[in-house]
Amino acid sequence: MKTIRIYRLTGLSPTLFRRLKAAQQEAARVWNLCMETHKAARLTHARWPDVMDLQHATRGQFALNAQAVQQILRAFLGTIQTTRKLRREHPEMRMKYPWRTKTFYPVKWPAQAVHREKGRVVLPMGRGHPSLVLPLSLPDNAGACTLVWNRGFELTRLGLRSRKRNRLPARCKQPWTSVRFTWPP
């Protein structure tokens, strides 16, 4: 079972606050590049960019971890897919493809990119850029993290709740039981 926990980031130094804000602005630049690429393809009636095209366009250009950039690409392509489906099935909604430029966008790190140390969390920002170090202690089952703004910075953590599973005895070969029904009785 998945759990979500929100950590309010209070008492941040001005430098760390600026770095968190810059990270969200960098994520918005990734989204805007994807949006402009898709918009140009739509207007010229060219083939729409897929995940490989967008990964090639964004590779090495941003001060974000590569996995964080991939998370933004997945979110963008999911938005395109949902908009396309809604336009087809519900034309009365008049859905628009992404067209506005964003100033800020939440930054997402997958579980394997989040490093937990005693009393702090280290979030990588890509090759050649210093990592973000947040004064938080996360539990061992912490998974992916998202940096969001909600009248102050918050770190949303997705975790897996450990649950004991019923294990089958070693002598049991099949995890199911065959039952034969005969009708009428």
pLDDT given for residue 177 in this prediction = 40
The mean pLDDT of 113-118, rounded to a whole number, is 89
Residue from 81, 102, 97 nearest 27 by CA: 102
What are the φ and ψ backbone dihedral angles of 87, each rounded to 5 degrees? -65, -35
pLDDT tens figures, 130-153 = 999 999 888 877 889 999 999 899
Cβ proximity of 73 and 54 under 8 Å? yes
Q: Taking 90 as the threshold, does the pLDDT of residue 164 lie above it?
A: no
pLDDT tens figures, 13-22 = 999 999 999 9
Q: How many CB atoms lie within 10 A of CB 68?
A: 25
pLDDT given for residue 172 in this prediction = 45
The number of residues in the chain equals 185
pLDDT given for residue 160 in this prediction = 62
Coil, helix or strand for 6?
A: strand
Q: What's the pTM value of the predicted model, to 2 decimals?
A: 0.82
* CA–CA dist 139, 153 (Å, integer): 20
* CA–CA dist 172, 39 (Å, integer): 58
pLDDT tens figures, 37-81 = 999 999 999 999 999 999 999 999 999 999 999 999 999 999 999
* CA–CA dist 49, 147 (Å, integer): 27
